[in-house]
């Protein structure tokens, strides 16, 4: 699938992405180049499932160091580098949930 519409769960990338927001992720950029530092990616981790994090660093071997903005975020500090085959897409749009 080229595009995925996903709901954000949790606050690991707040205030950019809040719990209940939606994102549109695309595989298309990955066909032409690897993810870049600063981009937000969707990936699947064997122990934690589907996650959305910002790429903090691309290592020389092509794996990614990913981080959340929340101090308690489960990210590369917890599970190490993300391998390219785990990446499902790059976030290309955000739809904020309506404020209540």
Taking only the tens place, the pLDDT of each residue in 35-68 is 999 999 999 999 999 999 999 999 999 999 999 9
Note the pLDDT tens digit of each residue in 68-85. Answer: 998 889 999 999 999 999
Average pLDDT over residues 15-44: 95
- pTM for the complete prediction? 0.92
Q: Is the peptide bond before 15 cis (omega within 30 degrees of 0)?
A: yes
| pLDDT score of 100 more than 70 | no
Secondary structure tally for the chain: helices H, strands E: 2, 6
CA nearest to 7, candidates 84, 98, 97: 97
Contacts 24+ apart (CB under 8 A), 61-64: 62/34, 64/35
Interatomic CA distance for residues 43 and 7, integer angstroms = 14
Between 1 and 49, the more confident residue is 49
């Amino acid at each position: 699938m080229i595009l995925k519409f996903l709901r954000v769960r949790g606050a690991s990338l707040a205030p950019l992405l809040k719990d209940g927001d939606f994102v549109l992720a695309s595989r298309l950029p990955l066909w032409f180049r690897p993810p870049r530092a600063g981009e937000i990616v969707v990936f699947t981790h064997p122990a934690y499932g589907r996650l959305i994090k910002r790429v903090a660093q691309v290592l020389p071997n092509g794996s990614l160091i990913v981080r959340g903005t929340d101090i308690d975020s489960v990210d590369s500090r917890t599970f190490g580098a993300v391998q390219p085959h785990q990446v499902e897409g790059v976030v290309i749009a955000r739809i904020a949930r309506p404020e209540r």
